[in-house]
Amino acid sequence: MSYQRKFCEAVAEALKADEVLNAAGNVTVSIEDEVSAADEVERQLGKRGVLALIATTGHARKTGTGESTAGDIGLEVTVFENPKLNRATNKEAFTLTQAAEAIAEALHWKKLAGFTNRIRYISMQRADADEEDARMIVTFAVLQALDEAEAVKWGIGEKTI
């Protein structure tokens, strides 16, 4: 299994365990590699609640790392909501924006078990398709060598790179 897939699984576990998202009661978390993303989004847009779809966006090697493949892995959590359905019967329902903000808070500067470096929140942007398909893309990055066994490490404790 690839590092990026393992990372997505760890992110999904962290989001599923988050107190704020759990308290909302209407947030579904999925990993893009595990589902048909189009089918999952279509299903979500036909019901109440919000969907957080996790995917990595690639890896960019940092310059000056010599033989190491160390660099940033990009992570996107795209949140989907059909506002007409989600808010139709419950004006207090957890919305797209609330979910995106909670996800940014839940993941920023978090160090996941089994991974060396902390996740850095980058941005969130709306990407609505139409009035029944609201979307917010929340982006993150984490410094990681694709093969940790080959990574060059230096520093002490939390400062280890």
In this prediction, residue 159 carries a pLDDT of: 55
**Rg for the chain, CA atoms, rounded:** 17
Low-confidence ranges of the chain (pLDDT < 50): 151-152, 154
**Which pTM does this prediction carry?**
0.86
**CA–CA dist 56, 152 (Å, integer):** 23
User: pLDDT for 107-153, tens place per residue?
Assistant: 999 999 888 899 999 999 999 999 999 999 999 999 987 765 554 45
Residue 86 near residue 50 (C-beta atoms within 8 A): yes
